[in-house]
Structure 1
Amino acid sequence: MLEKMLAGVSRCSGVSERARGVVAATAAAWQRCSRCVSSNDVDTFRDTATMRMPNGVKQSPGLFSAEEVEGRVNRLRHHMEQEGLAACLFTSIHNVNYYTGGFTYCAFGRPYGLLVTPEKHVTISALIDGGQPWRRSPQDNIIYTDWKKDNYFRAVTEELGTTKGKVGVEEDHLSVEGWAKLQHHLQGATLTDVSQAVMRMRMIKSKEEIAVLKNSTATADLGAWACVDALGEGVPEYEVALAGTQAMVRRISELYPDSELMDIWVWFQSGINTDGAHNPVTTRRIQKGDIISCNTFPMIAGYYTSLERTFFLDHCSDAHLKVWEGNIAVHKRGLELIRPGAKCSEIAHELNELYAQLGLLKYRMFGYGHSFGAMCHYYGREADLELREDIDTVLQPNMVVSMEPMVTVPEGQPGAGGYRELTILVIHDDGSVENITGFPVGPNHNIFKK
């Protein structure tokens, strides 16, 4: 088995010698413990707290090169050295994803993690997932069994060994219970927050990340066009959403044939269902004259982008048109304001003034935009890169942000409904700003007669 696993690793391009050594050690450990794991002795089986399961061969790096992932980890280790951290234990989906280059765990009530020390890089997963976490981890993986309380924390302790000192954790993700259990099990360690520091690292995108986000944004455009094709009088929201989702799944499978397909979805809302940005798809049937919000979300190995556009079927009333054009005016001005050196809060303040002049500020729903990358509606967010009044982050090259103003006019008033336009922009090293969203905006394009 060991020979097969090492041969599989050798076929993966860009795998470092250190990673090959880790895989060899892991495979040998699996050989040593395999008899124990497969034991039919009840006591032996029950007392197994941790194990290795390097099942199959390592997957190819997927979206990112081995050098890209190693660079992220090296920057983290540099930060650890500067801050005197002996280790970092990441528990959130977004940071586990970011520092592995694509492993996106599915918790279902079980804790997961990634432990990074100056020497180790090991994911911590539940046995229910078998060997998949190992296959998607660039280096090591340890599995814990869940038929004895706190085996997850035993796995962390086992991997840390005699390590003492400061251990970085994510205060914005770790529960009070998890914090207490870590403190109990990690005798001699001091827990300290690293969530804000690593979030700031993630806010600056590499060339490889920007390439993935461009492909994802183009996929979102494609999903929206599929929704347009499926749109029609009497068609339920869910049928249109299904068409968009299918188109994006198929496109992602073509772009990244080694990727895992999960959490790719469409929110296609009509009528009163447009009043909230995250309202679920329903069985409501679309009627002529309806205001529609088309929202497509391709997720590629945990990397998220989106497209959001206001549509109308067949016609748009004068009252709706007035609100729609007002929101588009704010959207266009927002696109002009995104540039290096601009402060998030100042962008928000200026757009507030424009909304007020248009009489629409009282209908505003949320911030004007946000960052993209390793994030999702189920998990993380780069909160320091939100275009809001309470965020003073200065925009820099290699940030990827959206402009997405939204207003909702309550039901029963002229122009009732939610209006939202989301466009994604990349700030480049030379100071230029690239609009990477291709789907058109506004009434000249998005009133569909069918």
Structure 2
Amino acid sequence: MAQESEKTPDTIGDLVLGLNTVWMLLAAMLVFFMQPGFALVEAGFTRVKSTANILMKNLVDFTLGSLLYWFIGFGLMFGVGSFVGMPHFFDLSFLDSELPIEGFLIFQTVFCATAATIVSGAMAERTKFSMYLVYTIFISVLIYPVSGHWTWGGGWLMNGEEGSFMMNLFGTTFHDFAGSTIVHSVGGWIALVGAAIVGPRIGKYGKDGKSRAIPGHNLTLACLGVFILWFGWFGFNPGSQLAAAGEGDRIAISHVFLTTNLSACAGGFMALVMSWFKYGKPSLSLTLNGVLAGLVGITAGCDLVAPEGAVAIGAISGVMMILAVDFIDKVLKIDDPVGASAVHGVCGFLGTVMTGLFATEEGLFYGGGFNFLSAQLFGALVVGAWAAGMGYIIFKGLDKIHGLRVSPRVEEEGLDVYEHGESAYN
């Protein structure tokens, strides 16, 4: 009996570790399944003649990005260092983790791929495939790992030690539970800059400067893609707990499931209402993007906000997405076929900042004062500036060196045949 009682704690510990590992890997599978979701949304919102090109870009984001992130990006993100981690080149033994390191690498890889794939839709139908490959390299080995190191990798934005920069400045640290800023706004701001540099599609703006609608070829695909993304988000947000049990300072994943879903529903419904009021018809495409806006908005604070706060964040994100789409299209004259800049950039930023308002312990609306809100605003601005600045340097450099854009003939006839020698539809 004594021997059995001595083994019990180890047995329980092994069971908990096994359960947490299985949950982490299951969540990684769900986030991986978001890749076909992005592919279908982007394909559905763009024209038929460049569908194979869109699908290929989403495929390459994951295949090439996974290899590069394993090779160097993971070490830069989680290695020891002040600004960026020490590269370890294939060697995973540097990181001390309770969970299996290979599983943690896979989980982080699918997040990196999500940040990368956001850009493909915003620059769709006119960007050279070869130049997109170069961009994938940069975001997988530099842009995402560096901002990820500042935050999830133990860097200065989330360093809560006494005497650290954020603690000295705000008395608290930046908080992004699952990546409204770290994943979505990084991809969104790069998408905005890339779309601006590559220029609008032929025929998007008339001689009078007015925007012309270029409808996507298949809203059925787009709707299916959004449902897949919504499903995958239940791995994206709850999976970021990296544990199935809510013990110690861990929030129960059931709470994160609830806040994630409520925000998505509120975002979709408010986008429906806003589009109906603004354009006279309830728009399916804008409602779909409203769901995504709600999901992006809640991702930073899904662990800290109450269900009512999640509904508020989703509703505000859904409305602001439509206003942002209009502003980017009609005022900035930037052609973003799928609305990626508004959904991921704007709503990722807003969701992160709104966490400083609605967090039940430190949020301004719950008596927490301005410190946490200021830390959220500061972190979102810093990461956004890093992503947009690096995106500008990379895309501007590629445009000068080799040219980002295909020729007018290729664009008008479609990238599928000219870039890939095949069509998505025969």
TM over 0.5, yes or no? no
Which is helix-richer, 1 or 2?
2
The structure in which a higher percent of residues are strand is: 1
Bigger CA radius of gyration: 1
Q: Which has the bigger relative contact order, CA under 8 A and spacing at least 6? A: 2
Give TM class, smaller chain. under 0.3
